[in-house]
Amino acid sequence: MKVLRSLYLAALTGTLALGGSAQALVFDPATGVKGTLQLPDGRSVSYTGYEKIFYVEQVEDPAYQYLNIYVPEGAGPKAPIFLRTYVGGYMASAAAAPQATDASGRALAEGFVVAIPGTRGRNSVIKADENYAQAHPGVSVGDEIYTGRAPAAILDLKAAVRYLRHFASKIPADANHIITDGTSAGGAMSALLGATGNRPEYEPYLKAMGAAAEKDDVFASVCFCPITDLEHADMAYEWLYSGTSSRQSLDEQHRAYSQELAALYPQYLNSLKLKTPDGKVLNADNYLDFLKAQLIRAAQLAKDAGAEIPQDIGFSFSSSARGGFAAPVDGKAPTGEPGAGPDKSKDGLPPRGSPQLGEYITALDLAPYLDYVVSTQPLKTVPAFDSLIAGVNEPSGENGEFGDASGSNVNFTAFSAGKNDSEVSAEVKTNLSLLNPLHFVDDKKTAVAPHWYIRHGARDRDTAFTVPLNLYLKLKERGEDVNFLLAWNRPHSGDYSLNELFSWLKEILKQPAGKAKK
């Protein structure tokens, strides 16, 4: 098959239209179908569902470019919209119905209108028919066209947001209160929706797709373990993990790559000109102290809630709960102290077990903690995201994400491209930029979401902790409301602690949406 130029670059330059079937945007309230969702607690939620709604006029891939909307019984024009994306691994994501066990079902139960868009992804493929081939020079009938390479997914999601705004008078919901939610690559998409509102860089693409001529900013972004800043993610990963026992056991070539990448990160980190939430300058010299404070905070919150924090993974503890009259720690008396409760061993002392630790966590040695993280799941290869490809590593999902419509895998960082005696193309650099929220949050012209809920597991090794932390810090510096936590002992996952999440959502929804910047 012929190697094709990106359809999106062609659309940007105006030389091609994004092919497929053309149709008008419509929303017919009379087409709703009644349904019921059974929740785990036994409650039933009645709703009206509107499914298979195409959100662009130029539908290139009808298997994915549509939207499902679910309106709970009793919802009115002030109901917020919960937009849940199921993007994972930058792969295609079909529109779905609300799930009883995740945030979409909970949102429906809380009275939110739930919107679930399908999106193209790096694995979505169509076969070119005669009409498509005629519209795209260089394409032959029967060619496989990869429809979802970067930046397709974020364009589809923006088009879905614009569709919801376009039909705000017909959908019983408040399009000024759109809340996005996603996990992993979906967390990145949620972050992008929140960080790139109404940016002109996306406009030519959206116009070529036939998206509604509306704004695409959102009210709040919920981001679980967002995989962002892909240009620097390999550097961040090795800067954090190159000293672990896992990395030290690699072969000589990969250890050298790890050290090279780690050495590149401080310059980038310093270029961000970060500050802590209380205004202190943050750079490569003191960043790990800030990270340790965030991990201590997460562990302390869990300990206060009753969790036992192991003493062999790097934490130090106070001895303030060792007195004979001290209240029990984590619901139990320290081992070896009398009078702990009704259950006692033969010598009158509490049953032997793990020693109970002091009330407060006072310090963290990061080296054993990172070894603990690595022990729960092996690290990714080196490089973690932009594979060297040429006979060294298998291509990563991200290599496919930045490939072209022919299905190619390409390098997207100068480091890996250089190892393969090549350069990152201008097109790939553009697509990288369009997928990185950090490129937009510093610009006051961007209509950034005013509210953010960001979670990354405290043992999630799918990207370095610095990646979500940097996004958090940039948003805080901008003055946005950010609820951030490295959630204690959580692996790579999302839609947890839903009671907390929806309590937070209820609080922010008491505030006005405000005027978005143009």
Q: Per-residue confidence at 514, pLDDT binned at 50, 70, 90?
A: low
* pLDDT over threshold 50, residue 476: yes
CA-CA distance, 164 to 168, in Å (whole number)?
Answer: 6
Alpha-carbon dihedral 113, 92, 460, 269, rounded to 10 degrees: -100
| DSSP 8-state class, residue 108 | H
Region 39-68 average pLDDT? 96
Q: Are residues 341 and 444 in the same domain?
A: no
Residue 326's pLDDT is 45
* pLDDT over threshold 80, residue 140: yes
Residue 390's pLDDT is 62
Q: Are residues 100 and 173 in the same domain?
A: yes
Q: Where are the beta strands (DSSP E) in 319-465?
A: 361-364, 451-457
In a domain, 513, yes or no: no
In a domain, 294, yes or no: no
Q: Per-residue confidence at 354, pLDDT binned at 50, 70, 90?
A: very low
Q: Are residues 339 and 243 in the same domain?
A: no
Residue 334's pLDDT is 45
pTM over 0.85: yes
Domain count, the chain: 3
52: left (phi over 0), alpha (psi -120 to 50) or beta: left
Residue 53's pLDDT is 98
Q: Are residues 214 and 267 in the same domain?
A: no
pLDDT 10s digits, 195-214: 999 999 999 999 999 999 99
Residue 45, helix vs strand vs coil: strand
In a domain, 199, yes or no: yes
Q: Are residues 210 and 65 in the same domain?
A: yes
Higher-pLDDT residue of 422 and 328 is: 422
In a domain, 425, yes or no: yes
Region 219-244 average pLDDT? 98
Q: Are residues 105 and 252 in the same domain?
A: no
Domain end point (choices 376, 403, 420): 376
Q: Where are the beta strands (DSSP E) in 233-279?
A: 274-275
Element (H, E) at 11: helix 7-13
Residue 311's pLDDT is 86
Residue 285's pLDDT is 97
Q: Are residues 42 and 164 in the same domain?
A: yes
Q: Report the DSSP pairing between strands 58-59 and 220-224.
A: unpaired
* pLDDT over threshold 50, residue 485: yes
* pLDDT over threshold 90, residue 389: no
Residue 258's pLDDT is 97
* pLDDT over threshold 70, residue 350: no
Q: Where are the beta strands (DSSP E) in 125-279?
A: 125-127, 144-146, 178-183, 220-224, 274-275
Region 237-263 average pLDDT? 96
Q: Are residues 29 and 148 in the same domain?
A: yes
Region 69-80 average pLDDT? 96
Region 215-226 average pLDDT? 98
Domain that holds residue 351: 306-376
pLDDT 10s digits, 117-137: 999 999 999 999 998 888 888
Residue 391's pLDDT is 62
Q: Chain-wide mean pLDDT for the chain?
A: 89
* pLDDT over threshold 60, residue 17: no
Q: Are residues 352 and 388 in the same domain?
A: no
Residue 27's pLDDT is 97
In a domain, 293, yes or no: no
CA-CA distance, 79 to 73, in Å (whole number)?
Answer: 11
In a domain, 516, yes or no: no
Q: Are residues 201 and 141 in the same domain?
A: yes
Residue 511's pLDDT is 83
In a domain, 79, yes or no: yes
Q: Are residues 466 and 453 in the same domain?
A: yes
Q: Are residues 490 and 454 in the same domain?
A: yes
Query: Are the C-beta atoms of 307 and 330 separated by less than 8 Å?
Result: yes
CATH of the domain at 501: 3.40.50.1820
Residue 79's pLDDT is 97
* pLDDT over threshold 50, residue 18: no
| Lowest-confidence segment of 217-221, 348-352, 481-485, 497-501 by average pLDDT | 348-352
